[in-house]
């Protein structure tokens, strides 16, 4: 038997907004669609930017990549703001629990001294690279076109800030909350030879002016090598060397990486499918940045995991690139 | 390796380690290449370390708090739609305020999102960058939740259906659009002065709040719930606005005259933009919250007065021409509603003559001006309408080159005389509604000669046709007879009467012979 509440139905005069009707027909739209498509200004801009008079305020020629409609790039996660924060809130709840547990049981300060030293030298300085990723994605969110594209980058920017903060908290767990470990980690980032390749790569990315190239250098290439290297291979090394407790503090990053590769790959596939010219341009950029990223990570890998791990990561990355429709130089 | 010789960090220092300490001085790339836009406006920053974080919110707490708010908000949206909440509003005329909001305000939120994303990269001070990025993602939240709040209204009312297309084209929407384009095309420090300080800190209570209070007074549960949900975001944005201005002023005395000019400009720009909000408060809300004049007194004259007193010690004086706003508060909303009433063929919302009770309310709220200058005009139009001669103006109004509001305001010292200024720049004469707008032009003529003035564009044939009907329907996407014209007898009105099981008025006051031809 079913219970039926009588309601007063009122026939709507239209199912959704006109812009969505033009794209998908007059049918009820998802919250993602309503929140993402055609929400930006596209024409009749009043003034040229004082800081970039060659371009309009929203200008598709701010990148060399051409799309007839950037809304073709969509988010496989279907994140609008509400869906995004709710997903991250669930992840942070589990992470908070892990950090709380780790602090209460003093799991990090009980690790052997040399392991703590290695964590501080090889993992905590990554917090600065995360800030670099934060800056780059905020920049792309400001420069790119179409709500479906821009919003993914501000989520990515805030994620990177969050991960930089989690890494900092690992430092605070190591130094008992004084900040000394973070000062030390920053000194490594600035002067230790194992970090200079990566720091140079990150600083070089700060001066890339084409937002799509910047996304490639940051979200596809650098993350594609660095994230698996540090959160999978270095994590594995820690586990094998008595530091398995650290894994619970980096679980967020592993989950995040698995999730974020979905939209990054989807974006590249869509852009490559648009035209041969796009494919050639992306391939040309890849050939600049992929070898540089590999070189940049060599000294870090040598210290943290051994070069072999980086080479394996690179070859897995080559497979990923192939699936996207790109070639890595390694082949 | 836990070394306990140093003290545990206090909250402030801990936040510092979790935000700005993530940054470093670059050495492989020069600072001016990494942050190339920090200097061209002439603002001097000697020490970013002096930046006081206006709020301390790490990302994990941000996700947590915002997710809780979103969960509650969407539960209300769902309940509102499921129970046909649109039928519980005070009167269908109220929805016209939402049409103004969705086409005129929500697109600004998106623009603000991108603007803050850019400045969230451009400052070399990481504390300021992080605060700007948080505002960026908040602004994205606002445009999206506003769309979701109004999505249900769009299914039952006209005029909301193509907000973004209209924002780029419809004549009066160039008022908010040019405002935000102006801010975003400026440098990063001016952008923050314009949006964070002038708009968010000084004027939010006159923009965001009146719409949300209007929703509360008129039974719009979806929108008012959005308003409550966004309140804590707005509070963060306001603290950022105040910190920005104080920081710049404290950094170098050379900044003072630059900031003073920006304050003058953005105050006047904001004041003109708010005319649309004032009109909404006085004319479009069936249940009125407070009059525009009252709101201006409370939220600008009192609150703003205290603020500028506080800024005096930095050498900042109240905005130029502020005395004109004290006079104007008794006039501008009536002048603007009278304009929209005439030009309703080209608006995505309906207009109407206020009922007797509302006219009396206006007389009471505007004792010095309403009966003397404006009531007779509305009563005359009402008589015409009763005779079946609802007045529409078929020519297009003359827009101010800067604020883009039709030049319909009167002289500060003579409410019977139109205020008009003009200025010749490189052989071309440009027209303005006021001294305030004329000054803004003279300071940056190269910027304002670029303005995309809808009326000029229509007359030049750049809007898909030479006649108004084609422009309205094809270019603006305003569906003639549905989205525009008089409220009485409109499809919105008729549907409302049917839902409420009320009788259709015997004679739709909006009908006249030319009515259908727009």
From chain A, the residues in CB contact with B161 under 8 A are 14, 17-18
Rounded to the nearest 5 degrees, what angle is found at the Cα of B460, between the Cα atoms of B456 and B462? 100
Alpha-carbon gap, residue B190 to B182, rounded angstroms: 10
List the single residue in B with minimal CA-CA distance to A158.
B59
Q: Considering CB atoms only, which of B2, B18, B178 is closest to A176?
A: B2
Determine the pLDDT at residue A195: 98
Hey, what are A215's tokens?
A: 């996304």
pLDDT tens-digit series, residues B171-217:
999 999 999 999 999 999 999 999 999 988 888 889 888 899 999 99
Q: Considering CB atoms only, which of B2, B26, B40 is closest to A174?
A: B2
- Mean predicted lDDT score pLDDT of chain B: 94
- The single residue listed with the structure tokens 């004469």 is B429
Hey, what are B378's tokens?
A: 């509305």
Q: Closest Cα partner for B290 from B216, B368, B380, B204?
A: B216
List the single residue in B with minimal CA-CA distance to A88.
B63
Task: Quote the DSSP letter at residue B371.
Answer: I
Query: What CA–CA distances, in Å, run from B422 to A67, A205, B267, B401, B433?
Result: 43, 48, 21, 9, 9
B 241-300 residues with CB < 8 A to A:
none
Residues of chain A with pLDDT under 50: 331
Determine the pLDDT at residue B466: 80
**Interchain CB contact of B459 with A (< 8 Å):** no
Interface A:B, Cβ pairs < 8 A: 290
For the residues B398-423, what does the mean pLDDT come to? 96
Question: At B360, is the pLDDT very low, low, confident or very high (cuts 50, 70, 90)?
Answer: very high
Determine the pLDDT at residue B5: 59
Determine the pLDDT at residue B513: 38
Query: What CA–CA distances, in Å, run from B415 to A26, A147, B270, B365, B373?
Result: 49, 45, 22, 18, 8
Beta bridge partners of B127: none
Determine the pLDDT at residue B204: 84
B 187-206 residues with CB < 8 A to A:
187
B 27-66 residues with CB < 8 A to A:
27-29, 33-34, 37, 40, 58-60, 62-64, 66
Determine the pLDDT at residue B515: 39
Q: Considering CB atoms only, which of A44, A127, A136 is closest to B22?
A: A127
Q: Closest Cα partner for B409 from B443, B373, B385, B456?
A: B373
- For the entire predicted model, the pTM comes to 0.96
In the predicted structure, residue B446 carries a pLDDT above the cut 50: yes
Determine the pLDDT at residue B508: 44
- The single residue listed with the structure tokens 């909404």 is B280
Determine the pLDDT at residue A330: 54
CA distance to partner chain A, nearest, from residue B179 (Å): 9
**Interchain CB contact of B14 with A (< 8 Å):** yes
From chain B, the residues in CB contact with A176 under 8 A are 2-4, 8
Hey, what are A211's tokens?
A: 């937002």
Q: Closest Cα partner for B138 from B7, B24, B235, B42?
A: B235
Alpha-carbon gap, residue B31 to B46, rounded angstroms: 14
List the single residue in A with minimal CA-CA distance to B25.
A190
In the predicted structure, residue B16 carries a pLDDT above the cut 70: yes
From chain A, the residues in CB contact with B82 under 8 A are 7
Residue B146 exposed, middle or buried by CB count within 10 Å (0-12, 13-18, 19+): buried
> Which secondary structure element, helix H or strand E, spans residue B288, and what is its range?
none
Provide the residue count of chain A: 331
CA distance to partner chain B, nearest, from residue A21 (Å): 10
For the residues B458-483, what does the mean pLDDT come to? 94
From chain A, the residues in CB contact with B151 under 8 A are 16-17, 29, 34
Lowest mean pLDDT among A180-189, B112-121, B200-209, B471-480: B200-209
Looking at 3.40.50.10800, 1.20.950.20, 1.10.10.10, 1.10.620.20, the CATH number of the domain B48-517 comes to 1.10.620.20
From chain A, the residues in CB contact with B67 under 8 A are 85-86, 88-90
Higher-confidence residue: A285 or B3?
A: A285
Q: Considering CB atoms only, which of A19, A135, A151 is closest to B165?
A: A19
Asked whether the beta carbons of residue A47 and residue B185 sit closer than 8 angstroms, the reply is yes
pLDDT tens-digit series, residues B226-242:
999 999 999 999 999 99
The answer to whether the beta carbons of residues B288 and B353 sit under 8 Å apart is: no
From chain A, the residues in CB contact with B155 under 8 A are 12-16
The answer to whether the beta carbons of residues B185 and B447 sit under 8 Å apart is: yes
The answer to whether the beta carbons of residues B88 and B216 sit under 8 Å apart is: no
Alpha-carbon gap, residue B174 to A11, rounded angstroms: 34
pLDDT tens-digit series, residues B60-79:
999 999 999 999 999 999 99
What residues contact A65, with CB distance under 8 A and at least 6 apart? Answer: A212, A271, A278, A281, A282
In the predicted structure, residue B431 carries a pLDDT above the cut 60: yes
For the residues B257-277, what does the mean pLDDT come to? 97
Asked whether the beta carbons of residue B84 and residue A31 sit closer than 8 angstroms, the reply is no
For the residues B352-369, what does the mean pLDDT come to? 98
Beta bridge partners of B421: B432
CA distance to partner chain B, nearest, from residue A315 (Å): 29
Q: Sketch the domain layout of chain A as residue ranges.
A: 76-324
In the predicted structure, residue B512 carries a pLDDT above the cut 90: no
Lowest mean pLDDT among A235-239, B299-303, B437-441: B299-303
SS (H, E, C) B379-431: HHHHHHHHCCCCCCCCCCCCECCCCCCECCCEECCEEEEECCEEEEECCEEEE
Alpha-carbon gap, residue A95 to A172, rounded angstroms: 15
What residues contact B28, with CB distance under 8 A and at least 6 apart? Answer: A199, A200, A203, A204
Tell me which fold the domain A76-324 belongs to: Ribonucleotide Reductase, subunit A (1.10.620)
Q: Considering CB atoms only, which of A58, A89, A200 is closest to B63?
A: A89
CA distance to partner chain A, nearest, from residue B189 (Å): 12
From chain A, the residues in CB contact with B269 under 8 A are none
Determine the pLDDT at residue B335: 98
For the residues B355-372, what does the mean pLDDT come to? 98
DSSP per-residue codes, A207-276:
T---HHHHHIIIIIIIHHHHHHIIIIIHHHHHHHTT-GGGHHHHHHHHHHHHHHHHHHHHHHHHHHHH-H
For the residues B460-476, what does the mean pLDDT come to? 93
Higher-confidence residue: B351 or B6?
A: B351
């Amino acid at each position: 038997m079913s219970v039926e509440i009588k309601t007063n139905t009122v026939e709507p005069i239209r199912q959704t907004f006109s812009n969505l009707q033009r794209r998908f027909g007059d049918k009820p739209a998802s919250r993602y669609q309503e929140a993402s498509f055609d929400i930006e200004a596209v024409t009749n801009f009043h003034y040229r930017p004082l800081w970039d008079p060659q371009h309009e305020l929203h200008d598709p020629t701010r990148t060399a990549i051409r799309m007839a409609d950037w809304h073709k790039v969509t988010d496989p996660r279907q994140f609008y703001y509400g869906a995004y924060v709710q997903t991250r809130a669930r992840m942070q709840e589990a992470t908070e629990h892990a950090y709380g547990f780790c602090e209460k049981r003093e799991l990090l300060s009980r690790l052997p001294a040399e392991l703590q030293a290695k964590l501080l030298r090889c993992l905590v300085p990554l917090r600065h690279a995360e800030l670099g990723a934060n800056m780059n994605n905020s920049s792309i969110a400001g420069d790119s076109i179409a709500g479906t594209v821009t919003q993914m980058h501000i989520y990515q920017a805030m994620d990177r800030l969050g991960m930089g903060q989690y890494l900092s908290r690992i430092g605070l767990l190591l130094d008992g909350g004084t900040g000394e470990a973070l000062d030390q980690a920053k000194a490594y980032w600035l002067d230790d030879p194992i970090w200079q390749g990566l720091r140079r790569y990150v600083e070089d990315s700060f001066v890339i002016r084409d937002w799509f190239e910047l996304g490639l250098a940051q979200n596809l290439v650098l993350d594609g090598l660095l994230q698996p290297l540090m959160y999978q291979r270095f994590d594995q090394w820690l586990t094998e060397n008595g530091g398995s407790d650290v894994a619970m503090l980096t679980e967020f990053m592993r989950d995040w990486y698995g999730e974020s590769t979905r939209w990054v790959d989807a974006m590249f596939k869509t852009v490559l499918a648009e035209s041969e010219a796009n494919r050639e341009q992306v391939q040309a950029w890849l050939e600049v940045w992929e070898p540089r990223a590999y070189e940049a990570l060599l000294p870090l890998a040598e210290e943290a995991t051994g070069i072999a791990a980086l080479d394996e990561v690179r070859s897995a990355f080559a497979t990923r690139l192939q699936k996207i429709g790109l070639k890595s130089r390694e082949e | 390796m836990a070394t306990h010789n140093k003290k545990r960090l206090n909250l402030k220092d801990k936040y510092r380690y979790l935000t700005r300490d993530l940054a470093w001085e670059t050495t492989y790339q020069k600072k001016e290449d990494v942050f190339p836009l920090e200097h061209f406006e002439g603002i001097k920053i000697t020490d970013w370390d002096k930046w006081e974080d206006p709020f301390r919110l790490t990302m994990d707490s941000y996700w947590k708090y915002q997710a809780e708010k979103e969960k509650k908000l969407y539960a209300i949206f769902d309940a509102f739609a499921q129970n046909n909440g649109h039928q519980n509003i005070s009167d269908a005329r109220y929805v016209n305020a939402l049409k103004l909001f969705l086409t005129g305000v929500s697109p600004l939120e998106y623009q603000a999102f991108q603007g803050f994303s850019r400045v969230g990269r451009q400052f070399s001070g990481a504390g300021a960058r992080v605060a700007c990025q948080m505002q960026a993602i908040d602004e994205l939240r606002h445009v999206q939740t506003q769309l979701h709040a109004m999505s249900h209204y769009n299914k039952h009312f006209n005029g909301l259906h193509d907000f973004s297309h209209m924002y780029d084209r419809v004549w009066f929407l160039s008022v908010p659009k040019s405002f935000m384009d102006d801010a975003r095309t400026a440098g990063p420090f001016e952008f923050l002065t314009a949006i964070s300080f002038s708009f968010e800190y000084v004027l939010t209570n006159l923009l965001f709040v009146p719409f949300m209070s209007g929703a509360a007074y008129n039974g719009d549960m979806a929108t008012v719930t959005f308003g409550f949900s966004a309140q804590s975001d707005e509070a963060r944005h306001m603290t950022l606005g105040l910190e920005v201005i104080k920081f710049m002023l404290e950094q170098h005395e050379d900044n003072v005259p630059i900031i003073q000019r920006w304050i003058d400009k953005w105050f006047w720009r904001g004041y003109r933009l708010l005319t649309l909000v004032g009109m909404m408060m006085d004319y479009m809300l069936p249940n009125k919250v407070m009059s525009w004049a009252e709101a201006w007194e409370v939220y600008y004259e009192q609150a703003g007065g205290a603020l500028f007193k506080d800024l005096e010690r930095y050498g900042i004086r109240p905005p130029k021409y502020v005395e004109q706003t004290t006079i104007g508060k008794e006039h501008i909303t009536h002048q603007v509603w009278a304009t929209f009433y005439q030009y309703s063929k080209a608006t995505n919302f309906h207009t109407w003559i206020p009922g007797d009770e509302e006219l009396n309310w206006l007389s009471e709220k505007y004792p010095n001006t309403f009966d003397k200058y404006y009531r007779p005009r509305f009563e005359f139009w009402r008589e015409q309408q009763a005779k079946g001669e609802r007045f529409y103006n078929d020519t297009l109004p003359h827009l101010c080159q800067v604020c883009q509001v039709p030049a319909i305001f009167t002289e500060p010292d003579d409410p019977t005389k139109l205020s008009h200024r003009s200025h010749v720049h490189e052989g071309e004469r440009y027209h303005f509604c006021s001294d305030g707008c004329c000054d803004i032009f003279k300071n940056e003529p190269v910027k304002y000669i670029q303005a995309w003035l809808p009326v000029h564009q229509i007359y030049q044939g750049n809007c898909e046709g030479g006649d108004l009907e084609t422009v309205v329907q094809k270019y603006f996407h305003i569906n003639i007879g549905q989205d525009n014209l008089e409220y009485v007898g409109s499809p919105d009105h008729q549907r409302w009467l049917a839902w409420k099981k009320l009788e259709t008025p015997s004679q739709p006051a909006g009908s006249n012979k030319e009515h259908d031809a727009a």
